[in-house]
Chain A
Amino acid sequence: MSRSRKKGLPFIKIVAILIACTAIASITAGCSGGGSAKKTLNILCFQGYADDTWVKPFEKQYNCTVNVTYAGTVEEMYTKAKAGGGQYDILSTDCGSVQRYYEAGLIQPLDMGQIPNTSKLSQFFQKNADYKTIDGKVYHSPIVWGSNNVVYNKDKLGTLPDSWSVLWDPKYKGEVSVTDEANNNVVTTAIYLGFKDPYNLTTDQLNQVKAKLIALKNNCRELTNGFDSEKNALSTGETLASVSGYDSGLILYLKNTAKMNVGRIMPKEGIYIWIDGWVLLKGAKSPDLAQDYMNYILSDEVQIDLAKSLSFGAVTPAAKSALDPYVCSLTDYDNIDNIKVPIFIMKNPENVDLRTQIWNDAKAAS
């Protein structure tokens, strides 16, 4: 055996080596050939925020190369950013995590002069900048927004009252579901209880929340984890009303694919929203280009493209035409300024560990 191997490389191996050589040669050629004049923008984001539809025109317009790396989870994103060391210029994150990136020393403030399209934002986003401002400096430039909300089967339930109370209503025991996420459940419960600042709760308030969470859990059919599980719960009739972080996607799926009559509440106690946006990483190699991209995302064309491909809430009023009219009638995703109820923007809470523990305790209670 060993003797015959020494005689010569088998044909397949030679071919493999040749292919490897040409591949390496072409990669190095590509780097040295085009690198001198063109700038590069390295983006780390969730799938959908750097689509070819608008990235290709951007590359042309700014004569640059955009490299996109996708992360699947919040965790992966954070770990990649931590290990990055200048590997990425910007990344997409929900507004609630900005504080965490800041405390980890991973991000730098934005130069708002370079993002003039900020003036296109809906009034609400211009007036409420607390969530993205730390020590007077802005760290987050929005892409889209959405809400954690109750989507329900209108065929079975009729029209539900616009209140979080439906989740606790004994009439719907075993017919509702919430997501298995500690902080989201604590926040919505705090909003339901009428607490002024659902992100900064006192010990007494947290205890009240915990008692309500136990009741909430006992009213639930299941605890969902992600869009697929919410889709499954409602479309198979396992639940009749489910909380989802992607309500517009759920409405469209149930209406168009599952042919259901679907509703969504606009809770009078207040709506809980998230905003996904870009943060500029420390050590970014092309900070100017990065902020040009943030600005570009807020242009009317890209907002329309985003609305078409993702159906999340548009941060500027320009994308109205591209959003589904029925979704807009339920959610005001075309313009947040039309919302009449209090709006709570997702923020870093007072104590993440405590909230995790409270939700675990609620789940362990019977």
Chain B
Amino acid sequence: MMSKNTQADRNPPADKTAGQTKPRGKGKKYLVGLPITVWLVLIIIVPILIMFATSFYKKVGSNIEPIFNFGNYAKFFTDSIYIPIFFKTLLLALAVSISSIVLGYPLAYLVSRKVKRFRNQLYMLILVPLWVSYLVRIVAWRAILGRGGVLNTLLLDLHLIKEPISLFIYNPFAIFIVLTHISLPFVFISIFTSLEKIPKNLINAAADLGANGPRTLKEIIIPLSMPGVLSGFTMAFVTALGDYIIPQQLGGPNGLMFGNLIVSQFGYAYNWPLGAALGFIMFGIAVLILTLSNKASASEGYLE
């Protein structure tokens, strides 16, 4: 409630700057949008439509025939493997996004609000993992979590264990750790950005009205940073939902996720229609989550 009132007061200055950058003619405006539209259609819309069409095709012998049917989608519901693995994957994605937020929020808060010196350096340091290729990070985690890895060597040297522990890697736990590590910078960025957007005068006002630190955090900062939390959550969730490389590389014999089931229909199996249908089901879920989180963040508060 309180946040809505205060925002109304802040709106006029924001409008001024928006008026200045308004394009002059309407025709020109469309022309500007043309390249990006063409790009969007060619690179994103058309491939998705092709995939959508393929999901209704049928594999006959070694060939894919354009015979319209719903069999591929029906398989998702009738075959006992898909739904349990799908929920397992959803659960993993949920765990990954929650843990990234639990880790990412305090980090973003610290860098945004508490650190004065080396603030930019710290910000960059958190983003450094993004410069390293995704595959290299997987290999690095293997070197950390493996039997002869850094973690085991350390524990052995400290005499905390007598024999290397095999439980760090090649199981769903390893997938969880590494996906969290991959998602963390994205979650950090979106929370950090939303924290930066909170005007100083709101916090000053809270202090003037007698709110202490925790109260300000609870009443002002957390509610106003929710859009960032939500978009970070979405980012982490969608990343974890679709990933199949990490389960394949670090998941071990029990690390099968839904992405792996999709991939297994390509390559040697050459069942693109089934793969496309499974892919589309996942795509649908991802779109649904994006829409919900967009709606949620839109109703949460508007700072611009």
Partner of A232, one of B63, B81, B142, B269: B142
Q: Which single residue of chain A is at the shortest CB-CB distance from B248?
A: A225
Is there a chain A Cβ closer than 8 Å to B35's Cβ?
no
Bound CA span A73–B79, Å = 29
Whether B269 pairs with A352 at a CB distance below 8 angstroms is yes
Q: Is A103 an interface residue (CB 8 A)?
A: yes
Contact check, A74 vs B268: say whether CB atoms are below 8 A apart: yes
B80 to chain A, nearest CB (A): 8
Which residues of chain B have C-beta atoms less than 8 A from A348's C-beta? 62
B68 interfacial contact with A, CB 8 Å: no
* Contact residues on B (Cβ < 8 Å of other chain), bracket: 20 to 34
Q: Which residues of A, 51-99, contact B by the 8 Å Cβ criterion?
A: 73-75, 78, 99
The answer to whether A363 has its CB under 8 Å from any CB of chain B is yes
B260-272 CB mask vs A (1 if < 8 Å, else 0) is 1100111111110
User: Cβ of B85 and Cβ of A364 under 8 Å apart?
Assistant: yes
Nearest-CB distance from B299 to chain A (Å)? 39
List the A residue with the shortest CB-CB distance to B166: A174
Please determine whether B271 and A356 come into contact, CB atoms closer than 8 angstroms.
yes
Once the chains bind, are A364 and B81 in contact (CB under 8 Å)?
yes
Establish whether residues A221 and B170, one from each chain, have CB atoms under 8 Å apart when the complex forms. Answer: yes
- Once A78-B270, A232-B142 are accepted as A-B contacts, the answer to whether A222 and B253 lie under 8 Å apart by CB is yes
A353 to B268, CA, bound (A): 9
Distance from A27 Cβ to chain B, minimum over Cβ atoms (Å)? 27
Known: A104-B63, A360-B81. A225 touches B249 (CB 8 A): yes
B137 contacts A by Cβ under 8 Å: no
Residues of B within 8 A of A47 (CB): none
Of the candidates B62, B147, B268, B269, the one whose C-beta lies within 8 Å of that of A103 is B62
Q: With A99-B62, A238-B146 in contact, do A74 and B267 touch (Cβ < 8 Å)?
A: yes
Q: Is the CB of B148 within 8 A of A360?
A: no
Q: Is the interface of A mostly helix, strand, loop or mixed?
A: helix
On chain A, the residues within 8 Å of B170 by CB distance are 221-222, 238
Binds B, one of A29-37, A126-134, A177-185, A321-329: A177-185
Known: A103-B61, A237-B148. A218 touches B269 (CB 8 A): no
Q: Which B residues between 73 and 118 are near A, CB-CB below 8 angstroms?
A: 79, 81, 84-85
B84–A356 CB distance below 8 A: no
> Among B62, B148, B252, B268, which residue has its beta carbon within 8 angstroms of that of A223?
B252
Contact of A356 among B62, B148, B254, B265 (CB under 8 A): B265
A220 touches B267 (CB 8 A): no
Nearest to B142 among chain A residues (CB) is A232
Taking CB atoms, residues of chain A closer than 8 Å to B260 are 363
* In contact, A73 and B147 (Cβ under 8 angstroms): no
Q: Which residue of A lies closest to B254 (CB)?
A: A366
> What is the bound-complex CA distance between A181 and B266, given in angstroms?
12
Does the CB pair A353–B59 fall under 8 Å?
yes
For A237, give its contact among B61, B147, B249 (CB under 8 Å).
Answer: B147
Contact A182 B264 (CB under 8 A): yes
For B142, list chain A residues within 8 Å (CB).
232
B290 interface contact, C-beta 8 A: no
Contacts of A352 in B (CB 8 A): 62, 268-271
The distance in angstroms between the C-alpha atoms of A42 and B59, with both chains bound, is 30
In angstroms, how far is the closest chain A Cβ from the Cβ of B162?
16
B220 within 8 A of A: no
Q: Is residue A308 contacting chain B, with contact meaning CB distance below 8 A?
A: no
Contacts A182-B268, A352-B269 given; does A104 touch B62 at CB 8 Å: yes
With both chains docked as a complex, state the minimum distance between the C-beta of A93 and any C-beta of chain B, in angstroms: 12
Rounded to whole angstroms, the CA-CA distance of A342 and B158 in the bound complex is 52
A100 at the interface (CB under 8 A from B): yes
The reply to whether A73 and B267 form a contact with Cβ atoms under 8 Å apart is yes
Which residues of B are found within 8 Å of A360, using beta-carbon distances? 81, 256, 261, 264
Q: Please report the C-alpha to C-alpha distance between residue A184 and residue B187 in the assembled complex, in whole angstroms.
A: 41
Known: A103-B63, A237-B148, A366-B254. A183 touches B268 (CB 8 A): yes
Whether A236 and B146, one on each chain, are in contact in the complex, defined by CB atoms closer than 8 angstroms, is yes
B148 to chain A, nearest CB (A): 5
| A233-288 interface with B by 8 A CB criterion | 236-238
List, sorted by A's number, 14 A–B pairs whose CB atoms are closer than 8 Å. A75-B266, A75-B267, A99-B62, A103-B62, A104-B62, A174-B166, A222-B170, A222-B253, A353-B59, A353-B269, A357-B79, A363-B253, A363-B254, A363-B260
**Chain B residues with a Cβ under 8 A of chain A:** 59, 61-63, 79, 81, 84-85, 142, 146-148, 166, 170, 248-249, 252-254, 256, 260-261, 264-271, 274
What 7 additional pairs, Cβ within 8 angstroms, besides A75-B267, A363-B260, A366-B254?
A: A104-B62, A217-B254, A236-B148, A348-B62, A353-B269, A356-B271, A357-B81
